[in-house]
Every structure is written in structure tokens, then in C-alpha cells.
């Protein structure tokens, strides 16, 4: 069941996605964190960020739209408040990082070089909910190349670039992330979406638009992972609406080396452990030699 994501050794291919699992302690009473393949913490910026006004989340059929606005305690707050807790576990900790400028991305990446207990960085260039930075970097090819190259130079840690689905052709972005030194890519982040309260004719969340996640986006994710898998040689972390084992298997068959459970953590915190067991059971049932035999085993025909 073990996989290697650009130097991050995971004992199984299932991680929990950034923004859906807090910083670890929130779910520690409900999930044995050491069972997870990896834990990706909520996005960290150089300075503390208050996030967006409320309401920040609304449920829609098969998913939810959120615009939390990357609220986080900043590098110092995160390291002080959460790293001592996280070091008490064996689970690889991947820190999702973001910035409003190239300098901020580089700054936060550099600071993590000296932090003990961090297995890797996930570069968030795909958040749709902040005015500057985020998706602006991930949907323009030149910006993406600049930020990935700069962060690559700044960090000694394995680097996973998290791609936005909001591009006309994911292959160019996946290839650019690889060429600029990413050790892996993860996809997909949320899709920009709008929900309107028809009685008041006002938006259902304060930020007006937010990111759609959950089962509603699952098959968009599977398709984009498949596209990316035929383009790059670096490992892919597939995510988007994984609710059960079958959803995770689809990503792996499409070419993902690992998967991340996101919104389903809210629905049922036991989803990730169930998916881990489910993948093992599938491997046995299909008499595969291991997860490697599963990755990219899609038979598309034609």
C-alpha cells in the first residue's frame, strides 16, 4: 500500500485535503491520525489572515460552496500552536502554503526549511476565494512558472503544486509545474461557483462567489487527473469529491499515485480510514501485486 509522492513516503495512498481537516487536533478524537497516508494542513501564509466575512459556506446538491478566505494563524502562529502537536504523530505532515505576491510565497516556503516535522509543501496557486494571489497564479501559465520556480529555489522540502481546474487545458499547467521543479502535482482545487437566494436576490455567501467541492465535482477531477497523468512523469495526488473507496479508485486508475479526501471529512470523519481499508480490499479481491498495479491502469480503449 506504500507510495512515494516526490520524496514523501506514505504508508498508504490516502491523505486528507487541505482546508478540510484543520491542522490535525480538530479530528484527532475521531480519526487515528497515524492511520492516514499523510495529513495536509489548512493553507498557511506568512502573516496571520482573518479570512472572509460570514456566511462563508452553503450547501448545494452534491456538494458545498465555500469562501473561507484562507483564514489562518500565519507561519509563526501555526508553528507555535500546532507543530508540537503534529510532531507527536508519525503521519507525514504536508503544509499547504499560499501568498498574495511572489515574495510572500517565497518567504513562507523559506521559513519552513527550518521547521522540524514537515514532510513537504503543497503550493496553493488555485484558491478561488481571495482577491490577490491564489488562483491568479495558477490560471496564468507565466505566473505559474514564476511562482513554482521561485518556491523550488526557496525550499529544500518535497514540493507538490496544487493545480486549478479553471484552465482551458490542464496539460500545459501540469507540464509547467513539472518543468519548473515540482516533485508532484495535486488536483483539483475547487471550481468557482455562485449560489443565489432567490427570495432576497442576494448571494448565499458573503464573498458572493466561492469554491464548489464535493461529489458534484468528482468526475471533473477524474477527467483532469487522467489528462495530467498522460502529460507528466511526476506523481499525481487526485482529489475532488471522494466519498468512498470507488471514488478513490477512479482517481488511481486514471493515474493518481495518491488521493486526498476533502469535503467527505465533514460528512463522515471516518471516510479516509474506510477508503484505506477499501483500497486494500480491492487489491486483494483483484489479486493485484500492490497499489502500483492499480495506478494508471485505466483501459480507455481506442
Partner 1 sequence: MVSNTPVEGDYFLLELASRVVAPLVQPGQFVHVRIPGRNDLVLRRPFSVFRAGDGLLSILYKRVGEGTQSLSELPADAALDILGPLGRGFPPVNPEKLPVLVAGGYGMAALYLVAERAPKKGVVMVGGATGKDILCVADFERIGWEVRVATEDGSRGTRGRVTEVMDAYVAGMEGAAPEFFACGPMGMLKAVAERAIGGSWTAWISLDRNMGCGVGACLACVQKVRDESDGPTWARICKEGPVFECREVIWE
Which residues contact partner 1 (rule: CB under 8 A)?
Answer: 19-22, 26-27, 30, 42, 50-51, 54-59, 61-64, 66, 68, 71, 214-215, 243, 263-269
- Distances, alpha carbon 200 to alpha carbons 51, 67, 68, in Å: 25, 20, 22
The helix (run of H) or strand (run of E) holding residue 53 is none
Neighbouring residues of 283: CB distance < 8 A, sequence distance ≥ 6: 1, 290, 291, 293, 294
Shortest distance, CB of residue 21 to partner 1, whole angstroms?
A: 6
127 in active site: yes
Residue 217 beta carbon to partner 1: minimum distance, rounded to whole angstroms: 11
Name the DSSP class of 72. B
Q: Are 240 and 87 in contact (CB under 8 A)?
A: no
Given 33, 79, 127, 260, the catalytic residue: 127
| CA-only gyration radius of the chain, Å | 18
Query: For 294, phi and psi rounded to 5 degrees?
Result: -90, -40
Q: 196 or 288: whose CB is closer to partner 1?
A: 196
CB of 150 to partner 1, least distance (A): 28
* Nearest residue (CB) to partner 1, 50 versus 301: 50
By beta-carbon proximity to partner 1, the closer residue of 132 and 268 is: 268
Which is it for strands 93-97 and 196-197: parallel, antiparallel or unpaired?
Answer: unpaired
CB of 39 to partner 1, least distance (A): 12
Residue 70: φ, ψ to 5°? 55, 35
The nearest distance, CB 265 to partner 1, in angstroms, is 7
Which residue is listed with cell 496557486?
125
Measured from the CB atom, is 57 or 209 closer to partner 1?
A: 57
Give 26 or 292: the residue with its C-beta nearer to partner 1: 26
- What distance in Å separates the CA atoms of residue 238 and residue 15, rounded to the nearest whole number? 10
Catalytic site positions:
127
Amino acid at each position: 500500500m506504500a507510495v512515494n509522492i516526490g520524496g514523501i513516503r506514505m504508508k498508504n495512498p490516502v491523505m486528507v485535503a487541505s482546508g478540510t481537516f484543520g491542522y490535525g487536533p480538530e479530528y484527532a478524537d475521531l480519526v487515528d491520525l497515524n492511520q492516514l497516508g499523510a495529513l495536509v494542513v489548512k493553507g498557511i501564509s506568512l502573516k496571520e489572515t482573518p479570512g472572509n466575512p460570514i456566511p462563508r459556506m452553503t450547501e448545494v446538491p452534491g456538494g458545498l460552496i465555500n469562501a473561507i478566505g484562507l483564514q489562518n494563524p500565519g507561519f509563526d502562529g501555526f508553528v507555535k500552536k500546532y507543530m508540537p502537536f503534529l510532531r507527536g504523530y508519525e503521519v507525514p505532515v504536508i503544509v499547504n502554503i499560499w501568498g498574495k505576491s511572489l515574495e510572500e510565497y517565497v518567504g513562507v516556503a523559506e521559513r519552513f526549511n527550518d521547521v522540524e516535522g514537515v514532510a513537504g509543501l503543497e503550493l496553493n496557486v488555485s484558491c478561488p476565494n481571495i482577491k490577490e494571489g491564489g488562483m491568479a497564479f495558477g490560471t496564468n501559465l507565466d505566473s505559474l512558472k514564476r511562482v513554482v520556480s521561485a518556491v523550488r529555489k526557496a525550499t529544500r522540502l518535497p514540493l507538490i503544486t496544487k493545480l486549478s481546474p479553471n484552465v482551458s487545458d490542464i496539460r500545459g499547467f501540469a507540464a509547467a509545474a513539472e518543468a519548473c521543479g515540482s516533485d508532484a502535482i495535486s488536483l483539483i482545487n475547487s471550481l468557482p461557483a455562485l449560489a443565489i437566494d432567490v427570495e432576497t436576490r442576494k448571494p448565499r455567501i458573503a464573498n458572493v462567489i466561492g469554491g464548489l467541492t464535493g461529489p458534484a465535482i468528482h468526475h471533473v477531477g477524474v477527467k483532469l487527473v487522467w489528462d495530467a497523468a498522460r502529460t507528466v512523469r511526476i506523481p499525481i495526488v487526485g482529489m475532488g469529491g471522494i466519498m468512498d473507496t470507488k471514488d478513490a479508485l477512479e482517481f488511481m486508475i486514471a493515474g493518481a499515485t495518491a488521493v486526498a479526501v476533502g469535503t467527505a471529512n465533514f460528512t463522515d470523519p471516518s471516510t479516509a480510514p474506510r477508503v484505506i481499508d477499501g483500497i486494500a480490499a480491492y487489491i486483494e479481491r483483484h489479486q493485484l501485486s500492490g497499489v502500483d498495479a492499480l495506478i494508471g491502469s485505466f483501459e480507455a480503449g481506442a
